[in-house]
């Protein structure tokens, strides 16, 4: 009754921003991501008749009630699907800087979904696994697969057609994704709360919805064509549009700090000097800079000249779920 799985985080090129169903984590729009090799969560789950409740360890520390309840609600879903009533010990090791906008919830819920369904010997395919992971955190449904992944929003009310699909494997096109750390602290407005406030109150959200499908079409074709310039242009524009919606929310909010803007401007300056690099930002202050592998070292060197940059993690397209020996 024990299984261990590893899932990698993903970075959205075309963002998931807004839900049409909050309970089932059904998104308003399709999104597109790259699964990253360097950041991942490894989770073991062991179910046992000996337990009276679930136990959750993260990086070797026993988690308190709030974190454990969140995990239990997710395991309840899996217990319901499998018909099991057993509680489990969940032991997770995270290599992702937690909650700094590096999407640790994506790898966390993807690994938990994979390990717990395997421990209960559920016979499910990746489409179902992705649907399960989605209900822990939306972006987790993309981390089931490696490489380039599209999350199709689906039309069904029960979410049965809303899951991640691989469009290119991690070996088919190499890109460099530099994760630039400017702020290691927890973010102030969580993505869940931020997207809800935006959908409910921002007049700019309609502009987002009107253009995101076109952005996705362009980005997807650029990936098939291995056309980095077109992809870079559209992913940067898409990120800026997502962040623009937050400024129109009530109350308004902003994920950027002055350090975020300094990195953005540096990337623009690199481009002005003929180095092809583009940025994207999730629900936090840190920046991911994309470039082609041959430019990776020079881009890194230039970004490191900024005093606000604390660390740069080098990532490339990485694998989907892997199962490890217990
Ligand atoms: C800005 O997947 O963290 O990173 O579904 O509420 O858990 P919940 O949100 P989450 O949102 C991610 C938002 C984003 C864009 C993206 O990853 O597509």
Whether 307 and 184 map to the same domain: the answer is yes
| Atom 6, ligand 1: residue with shortest CA distance | 192
CATH of the domain at 278: 3.30.70.890
Whether 124 and 237 map to the same domain: the answer is no
Does 325 fall in a domain?
no
Ligand 1, residues 13, 16, 36: which to mutate, most atoms within 8 A of Cβ? 16
Contact present, 316 and 296 (Cβ < 8 Å): no
Residue 128 domain boundaries = 2-172
Whether 101 and 228 map to the same domain: the answer is no
Whether 208 and 106 map to the same domain: the answer is no
Residue 189: its pLDDT value, please? 86
Assess whether the C-beta atom of 135 lies below 6 angstroms from ligand 1. no
Does 321 fall in a domain?
no
Phi and psi torsions of 179, nearest 5°: -90, 110
pLDDT digits (tens, 9 = 90+) for 98-117: 545 565 799 999 999 999 99
Nearest atom in ligand 1 to the alpha carbon of residue 283 is 1
Whether 49 and 63 map to the same domain: the answer is yes
pLDDT digits (tens, 9 = 90+) for 31-56: 999 999 999 999 999 999 999 999 99
Whether 160 and 300 map to the same domain: the answer is no
d(C-alpha 41, C-alpha 190), whole Å = 20
Please state the length of the chain: 326
Nearest atom in ligand 1 to the alpha carbon of residue 151 is 18
Measure 60 CA to ligand 1 centroid, in angstroms.
26
147, 172, 197: which is the final residue of a domain? 172
Structure tokens at 268: 């623009």
Does 165 fall in a domain?
yes
Whether 153 and 298 map to the same domain: the answer is no
Cα 273 to chain centroid distance, Å, stands at 31
* pLDDT tens, residue order, the chain (326 aa): 999 999 999 999 999 999 999 999 999 999 999 999 999 999 999 999 999 999 999 999 999 999 999 999 999 999 999 999 999 999 999 987 654 556 579 999 999 999 999 999 999 999 999 999 999 999 999 999 999 999 999 999 999 999 999 999 999 999 999 999 998 776 678 899 999 999 999 999 999 999 999 999 999 999 999 999 999 999 999 999 999 999 999 999 999 999 999 999 999 999 999 999 999 999 999 999 999 999 999 999 999 999 999 999 999 999 999 999 98
Measure 254 CA to ligand 1 centroid, in angstroms.
15
Assess whether the C-beta atom of 110 lies below 6 angstroms from ligand 1. no
Contact present, 55 and 15 (Cβ < 8 Å): no
Does 289 fall in a domain?
yes
Whether 41 and 159 map to the same domain: the answer is yes
Structural domains of the chain, count: 2
Contact present, 148 and 119 (Cβ < 8 Å): no
Does 326 fall in a domain?
no
130, 148, 172: which is the final residue of a domain? 172
124, 148, 172: which is the final residue of a domain? 172
Nearest atom in ligand 1 to the alpha carbon of residue 139 is 2
SS3 track for the chain: CEEEEEEEEEEEEECCCCEEECCCCEECCCEEEEEEEEEEEEEEEEEECCCCCCEEEECCEECCHHHHHHHHHHHHHHHHHHCCCCEEEEEEEECCCCCCCCCHHHHHHHHHHHHHHHHCCCCCCHHHHHHHHHCCCHHHHHCCCCCEEEECCCCCCCCCCCCEEEEECCCCCCCEEEEEECCCCCCCCCHHHHHHHHHHHCCCHHHHHHHHHHHHHHHHHHHHHCCHHHHHHHHHHHHHHHHHHHHCCCCCCCCCCHHHHHHHHHHHHHHHCCCCEEEECCCCCCEEEEECHHHHHHHHHHHHCCCCCCEEEEECECCCCEEECC
Closest CA to 218 of 210, 209, 229, 207: 229
Does 324 fall in a domain?
no
CATH of the domain at 23: 3.30.230.10
Whether 11 and 157 map to the same domain: the answer is yes
Residue 35: its pLDDT value, please? 98
> Largest Cα–Cα distance of the chain, in whole Å?
64
């Amino acid at each position: 009754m024990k299984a261990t799985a590893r899932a990698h985080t993903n970075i959205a090129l075309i963002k998931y921003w807004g839900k049409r169903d909050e309970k089932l984590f059904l998104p308003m729009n399709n999104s597109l991501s790259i699964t990253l090799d360097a950041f991942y969560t490894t989770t073991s789950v062991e179910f046992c008749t000996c337990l009276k409740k679930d136990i959750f360890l993260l990086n070797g520390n026993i988690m308190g009630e709030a974190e454990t309840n969140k995990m239990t609600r997710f395991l309840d879903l899996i217990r319901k699907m499998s018909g099991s009533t057993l509680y489990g010990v969940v032991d997770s090791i995270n290599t992702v800087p937690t909650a700094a906008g590096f999407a640790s919830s994506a790898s966390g819920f993807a690994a938990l979904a994979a390990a717990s369904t395997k421990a209960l010997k559920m016979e499910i395919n990746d489409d179902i696994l992705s649907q399960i992971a989605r209900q822990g955190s939306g972006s987790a449904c993309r981390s089931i697969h490696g490489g380039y992944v599209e999350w199709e929003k689906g039309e069904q009310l029960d979410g049965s057609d809303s899951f991640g699909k691989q469009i290119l494997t991690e070996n088919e096109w190499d890109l460099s994704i530099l994760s630039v750390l400017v702020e290691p602290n927890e973010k102030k407005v969580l993505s869940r709360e931020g997207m809800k406030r935006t959908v409910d109150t921002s007049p700019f959200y309609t502009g987002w919805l009107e253009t995101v499908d076109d952005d996705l079409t362009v980005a997807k074709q650029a990936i098939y064509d291995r056309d980095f310039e077109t992809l870079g242009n559209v992913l940067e524009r898409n990120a800026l549009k997502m962040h623009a919606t937050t400024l129109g929310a009530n109350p308004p909010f902003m994920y950027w700090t002055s350090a975020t803007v300094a990195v953005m401007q540096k990337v623009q300056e690199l481009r002005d000097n003929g180095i092809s690099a583009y940025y994207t930002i999730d629900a936090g202050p840190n920046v991911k800079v994309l470039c082609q592998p041959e430019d990776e070292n020079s881009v890194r060197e230039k970004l490191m000249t900024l005093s606000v940059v604390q660390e740069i993690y080098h990532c490339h397209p990485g694998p989907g779920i892997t199962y490890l020996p217990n």
